[in-house]
Amino acid sequence: MSEPAIKIENLNIHFGGLHAVRDASFSVNRGECYGIVGESGSGKSTILRAISGLNPNWTGTVEIDGQPQTQHRPKSFYRTVQMVFQDPYSSLHPRHTIDRTLSEPISIFGLDRSEERIRTALERVGLRAGFRFRYPHQLSGGQRQRVAIARAAILEPSILLLDEPTSALDVSIQAEVLNLLKELLANSGLTMILVSHNLAVVTHMCQRVAVMNGGRIVEETTSDALRDGRVREDYTARLLAATRSYNRAAAHGLNTFD
């Protein structure tokens, strides 16, 4: 059996007196989209930031392609691992054209064929060449998130980390972005971790799902099991009930840091 693309063991993260992530362990196979779901404050995005190198304050084991990672990553790491953030407007420089936004990572890593890479990146996310010299404020939320995905993918990483990539978008646009990510997963061989509070989003994208509550992974299951309601933990059942019915009482019963 091949080495997993991502392996996390006994990951712990503290913010002052807050133990935000507690002994988290999981692995992600190559070419898989792995989901982490939970309410706000459960620790899911905090795990993603530790994997991505944005948060160096962790203990435990983080392995990428079989290589143990330190708290501070070399430049080469970021050709392998890229991240797409929740808010596509704040993650794009408001005074940079899309062309400049896509050119910067190419320049930073000294890659060739800049023109070809930019054209291909825009095509892959379904944006016409005319978008190239627009500014973020001239794009819709869905178009901005497509640019953010293009920026992450332009370096041809093997791992893409997705932090609530559709939660800031209108419901009508969410499916378009998710289908784009699913197409990238199928056609590029990427490995993905998708963090979301929305079980419907996770089950649409992911084969396996970790459920977080209070900084712990309380259950690891499959999307098929979630769809069928076959869950082990009471928290997962209540999360599922809250998602299905938007029941205020069920949502109020969820126990998180918030």
Predicted TM-score of the model (pTM): 0.90
| 113 assigned to some structural domain | no
| 218 touches 236 (CB < 8 A) | yes
Q: How many independent structural domains does the chain possess?
A: 1
| 45 assigned to some structural domain | yes
- How far CA 38 is from CA of 26, 113, 156, 238, in Å, comes to 15, 41, 29, 11
Computed on alpha carbons and rounded to an integer, the radius of gyration of the chain in Å comes to 18
| 177 assigned to some structural domain | yes
| 10 touches 27 (CB < 8 A) | no
| 121 assigned to some structural domain | no
| 67 assigned to some structural domain | yes
Phi-psi region of 121 (alpha: psi -120 to 50; beta: other; left: phi over 0): alpha
| 152 assigned to some structural domain | no
Residue with tokens 């079980």: 199
| 127 assigned to some structural domain | no
| 147 assigned to some structural domain | no
CA 141 to CA 120: how far, in whole Å?
A: 21
User: Domain range holding 203?
Assistant: 6-87+158-252
- Residue 65 corresponds to which tokens in the numbers above? 């392609």
Question: Exposed (0-12), middle (13-18) or buried (19+): which is 104, by Cβ within 10 Å?
Answer: middle
- Mean pLDDT in order along the chain per 10 residues (258 residues): 90 95 97 94 94 95 96 93 88 93 95 93 91 94 93 94 88 87 90 93 93 95 91 90 58 43
CATH of residue 238: 3.40.50.300
